[in-house]
Chains A and B, each alone.
Chain A
Amino acid sequence: MTTRPPKIGRDFLRPDAPAKAAGVEKYAVDHYGENLLWAGVRRAGVPHGLIRRVDAAAARSLPGVRAVLTGGDVPGTNRQGIVHKDQPVLCDAKVRYAGDPVALVLAADRETLRRALALIEVDIAPLPGVFTIDDALNHDAPRLHEDHPGGNALLQATIEAGDGAKALAECDVVVTETFTVPIQAHAFLETENGIARREEDGRIVIIVSTQAPFRDRWEVSHALGLPMDGIRVIAPYLGGGFGGKDGATVQCLLALAAMHADGRWVKMWWDREESFQAGYKRHAARLHYHLGAKADGTLHALHCRVYYDTGAYAHLGGEVMALGMEHAGGPYRIPHTRIEGWCLYTNNPVAGAMRGFGVMQVSFAFESMMDILAARLRLDPLEIRRKNALRVGDRNSAGVLMTSSTGIGACLDAIADHPLWKDRAVWKAAAGPNKRRGVGLAAVFNAMGYGRGLPDTAVAKLEITPTGRFVVYSGVADMGQGNATAFVQIAGAALNQEEGMIDLVQPDTDRTLPSGSAAASRTTYTYGNALIRACQDMRRRILGRASMLLLVDRLEDLGLLPGRVRHPATGREIPLAMLAATLTTPERFCVYQYLMPVVPDPPATGKAFKIGFPHLLFSYGCHLALVEADELTGETTVRDYLAVTEAGRILNPQTSVQQVQGAIAQGIGYALHEDLQVEGGIVQTDDLGKYIIPTALDLPDIRAVFAQAYEETGPFGMKGLGEVASNGPLPAIANALADAGAARIFRSPLTPERVLASLQQGPGM
């Protein structure tokens, strides 16, 4: 631990690292409680059907079974959902995917729970299934949600700018292609879990692995008909989230179980298979692109149609697609665009938030299209990107005027100057026998914050304790991304205090204040902005009290130093411990609410998006992948990887590099391995032996560097960078394979089988 106040812009070790490394940090999953009951869910097992009967008699009579609950036992609306309340806590009439819960069991131990779940007889009259994008587009397809006005289209939307698709006719060259991406799973280490209990006063307490504790409270309240203040949600550090814990997983089920547990703690912990079958997923998508340019490579028009498979329930599907559409044109100036999107219900697992939130899908398409276009025009792939890169004052492909830090150009310049790029010909020529080498680029961006229509706000709460220590009450969960670290660093820097004097409280709806979800690359930006201002208030309050105690007329004449206030003119000092003891309780707290700015005059398009469109702030990245493919087997190895990121000012190089590297690791998994396969609504790859995520041996050393900028609105000039880097690997690797002489691959992941076929097919466009 450092003994000097943290500095912005310098490495700052995670304060949570020692406890995590020693295994003493308690995640939600480490919570048990005496006399614990175990809760579990019987799932439909069939993807679509009408419930005829759920017979729990045998399960109920099993010794050790405390209760078996079905849809009829759920008080309240029995509906959850972040935007649309369409997802039952326990299905009452219909099941819409195989993971749908039809009964909840409370038992004395896990073995009894397992046996009781198996004893429940579920009789479901099957309905025909909707399993593909084409199924869902078919007007005769059975409807998943009969009362949804859009049929199986959860959302259909259009973004148009300039003259729209008409302008394709004015282009010298138009390239047209279709891309397909699979479902990705979050595959976090800590699967969905929590514990809950009804307290003596009737309140329900839930300790849960969640990215959105305040929203959870509202979900539980709505679904179960409980008063909001009757629910307390506590969110310890998460063992991974990546978006998959943004939205109710175990929350409502646990609260319901707690209502039947007579004050005992109830624990629910999905096993890995259950997490794969019932957890939220990244949307599979199909993307049709027409990209047109002038002969000199100036982008002129884009027309695309994107289809997102959102699975059985809305979750954040519409918002995910909206963000994908907003990014469909890449970080480029394209004056004329028409971007159409369909977000479709199917009987597949529920798709929702995942790092990159709709943008990873379109990144594959637009960055492949840029290389295809460059090849067609015989232009250098870096030059065509530089030529079209967004600058301040441009409008992006959604028609939004770029007014803040827009650093894609600087990222591209950094790649151009890097030896990995300059010396690429030498590297490629050194491929060994039966190997081919290629180098691929991807320029990507990712919006920050919720976007217009959904105020992105955080309420920081800061305390000086009676002994002169500081406590930051964080309202946004830390799933490993490091926002808790950033908060301690920011508070330390803003208050000029040593790290050891600052404690951090993880989100707890009773103690911390609503600050939104850990999502949208927003946590450090939004909460950090609120925290800085809370720190400024606190500083004034401390100096104000010191002015009284030291008889100093003006606050400017006082300095806040580590552990004390000093009057430099006279050298007199007062320790914070002494000063704090004179403060009354209300004076010891500073609270500040920050509201993220939005696009002031949004373009008149994307009217179907009620919330989350458009965005004001983006982070940018340019990635370079050096890839080797095996001509005999199609195996693809990423030999080297460079990522240049512009995310405003880098507050903490160490955690920033970690975020970029982690995102790229996950992105390489998406590019090469990960493919959640679903057959007839049933997940086939439901364990980590079948669902393949990369190991340490599958990843190159990842060079993460930053093209720093200063975002005027950001805390100390920063922007979020939790997501942007995940968008690069798939297109960069696909472009590298094409550069290596393989036929272009339009369907990911880039498995050995696909790569071998494309190597044999040889170069094409």
Chain B
Amino acid sequence: MRKVFLPRDMAELWSAMADEPAARVYAGGTDLLVAMRAGTVVAPALICLERLAELQGVREEGEEIWLGAATTHAALLSNPLVGRHLPLLVQALRTLGSPPIRNMGTIGGNICTASPAGDTLPPLYVLAAEVELQSPGGRRRLPLRDFIAGPGQTRLETGEILTGVRVRKPVDANCHRFEKIGQRQALACCIVSMAALLTVTPAGVVASIRLAWGSVGPTVMEAPAAEAALTGSFMTRENLHRAAVFVRQAVAPIDDIRASAAYRREVAGNLLLRLLPG
């Protein structure tokens, strides 16, 4: 038998964490319980975060949107603020798992799992997200890309939890694209994905562009050279092909049971072509 704590407020959370220092926190459990079943994670006790109001919901705070760490993917998908301001995240969430997984899984869990295949991560990278961390000792904020330290690794400290994610509203962007290749159309672990946030002038020139790829390196991969090549140029097939070369240089994929490194590298570049209008 294993103890499971269901704290209802932060005070109960901190005291449970103090009483059971070896306990694992979880929200939806869609990653943790799978790992426990496989025996790769051993947790003498569990602390569930889903009842903490502080970790729930979506708020508009001036130029920023705050997403509670324990908010489920389904709740984010049906949230009007997310729908209005973060279409890129919406596209990614729609490809995550399946309806039951989206009903259980949370954005905080997806971030803390820190998988290179985590589908919310490329969008959050291009949105320059910041994570909010809290412990009995206080709060801190960190850019997401600094928080994620490697595959499955974060800079979360002992006794600390993730309370939320903060992104600036991408007010200038007029093209939001998330593309994901998996082995099937649902319940598919990402083989390669791309998140793109662009501002394109009416004349068709790229004024600004942010790009990130999933599943093609130890963490989310970026390609500044590709962004630089495209900034200021027209959105043409030729220009995208040229930028794709930089993408293929920037990514660092591996072979695994789902696909070869060569395929991932090739497609990471090819996905740029999906940005072509029409």
Q: Which residues does A use to contact B, with CB under 8 Å? A: 433-434, 632-635, 673, 677, 684-685, 689-690, 692, 694-698, 751-753, 756
Contacts and interface: CB of A to CB of B under 8 A. Distances in A.
Contacts of A673: 183-184
A632 B271 contact: yes
Interface in B231-278: 257, 259-260, 263, 266-267, 270-271, 273-274, 276, 278
Contact of B257 (A634, A685, A752, A756): A685
B185 interface: yes
Contacts of A751: 183, 259
Nearest to B264: A753
B65 to A, nearest CB: 29
Contact of A632 (B185, B257, B270): B270
A698 B267 contact: no
Interface string B179-190: 001011111110
Interface of B: 98, 181, 183-189, 191, 257, 259-260, 263, 266-267, 270-271, 273-274, 276, 278
A692 B263 CA distance: 18
Given A694-B184, A756-B267, A684 B273 contact: no
A88 B188 CA distance: 38
Given A633-B181, A694-B184, A753 B263 contact: yes
Given A434-B273, A696-B186, 8 more contacts: A632-B271, A633-B267, A673-B183, A677-B257, A695-B98, A698-B185, A752-B181, A752-B263
Given A684-B257, A756-B263, A689 B184 contact: no
Contacts of B274: 434, 632
Contact of A697 (B184, B257, B276): B184
Nearest to B269: A632
A572 to B, nearest CB: 61
A698 B184 CA distance: 6
Contacts of A697: 184-186
Contacts of B271: 632-633
B276 A433 contact: yes
A632 B276 contact: no
B267 A690 contact: no
17 contacts: A434-B273, A632-B267, A632-B271, A632-B273, A633-B267, A633-B271, A684-B257, A685-B257, A692-B184, A694-B184, A695-B98, A695-B186, A696-B186, A698-B186, A752-B259, A756-B263, A756-B266
Contacts of A434: 273-274
A685 B257 CA distance: 8
A189 to B, nearest CB: 15
A503 B257 CA distance: 49
A434 B272 CA distance: 12
A433 B278 contact: yes
A752 B180 CA distance: 13
B236 to A, nearest CB: 13
Nearest to B183: A692
B257 A690 contact: yes
A632 B267 CA distance: 7
Contacts of B186: 695-698
B245 to A, nearest CB: 15
B244 to A, nearest CB: 10
A694 B181 CA distance: 15
Contact of B189 (A633, A677, A689, A756): A689
A695 B276 contact: no
Nearest to B258: A690
A6 to B, nearest CB: 37
A434 B179 CA distance: 14
B248 to A, nearest CB: 13
A758 to B, nearest CB: 13
Contacts of A633: 181, 267, 270-271
A733 to B, nearest CB: 15
B125 to A, nearest CB: 21
A633 B269 CA distance: 10
Contact of A635 (B181, B273, B278): B181
B187 A695 contact: yes
Nearest to A432: B278
Nearest to B185: A697
Nearest to A434: B273
B259 A753 contact: yes
A296 to B, nearest CB: 42
Contacts of B266: 756
Nearest to B191: A752
In the A-B complex, the 7 residue pairs with the closest CB atoms: A697-B185, A632-B270, A753-B263, A692-B183, A695-B186, A697-B186, A698-B184
B253 to A, nearest CB: 12
B45 to A, nearest CB: 17
A184 to B, nearest CB: 15
Contacts of A753: 259-260, 263
Contacts of B270: 632-633
A353 B260 CA distance: 32
A253 to B, nearest CB: 23
A640 B95 CA distance: 22
A201 to B, nearest CB: 40
Contacts of B181: 633, 635, 752
A547 B103 CA distance: 66
B12 to A, nearest CB: 29
A756 B186 CA distance: 21
A86 B187 CA distance: 39
Contacts of B260: 753
B22 to A, nearest CB: 20
Best-buried of B98, B183, B267, B278 by chain A (most CB within 10 Å): B183
A751 B258 CA distance: 10
Nearest to B181: A633
Contacts of B259: 751-753
Contacts of B184: 673, 692, 694-695, 697-698
B207 to A, nearest CB: 23
Nearest to A111: B1
Contacts of A684: 257
Contacts of A696: 186
A694 B276 CA distance: 30
B226 to A, nearest CB: 16
A379 B276 CA distance: 38
A503 B171 CA distance: 67
Contacts of B187: 689, 695
Contacts of B191: 752
A328 B108 CA distance: 54
A236 B98 CA distance: 31
A434 B278 CA distance: 10
Contacts of A694: 184
Contacts of B257: 677, 684-685, 690
Nearest to B270: A632
Contacts of A433: 276, 278
A542 B184 CA distance: 57
B201 to A, nearest CB: 22
Contacts of B189: 689
B263 A695 contact: no
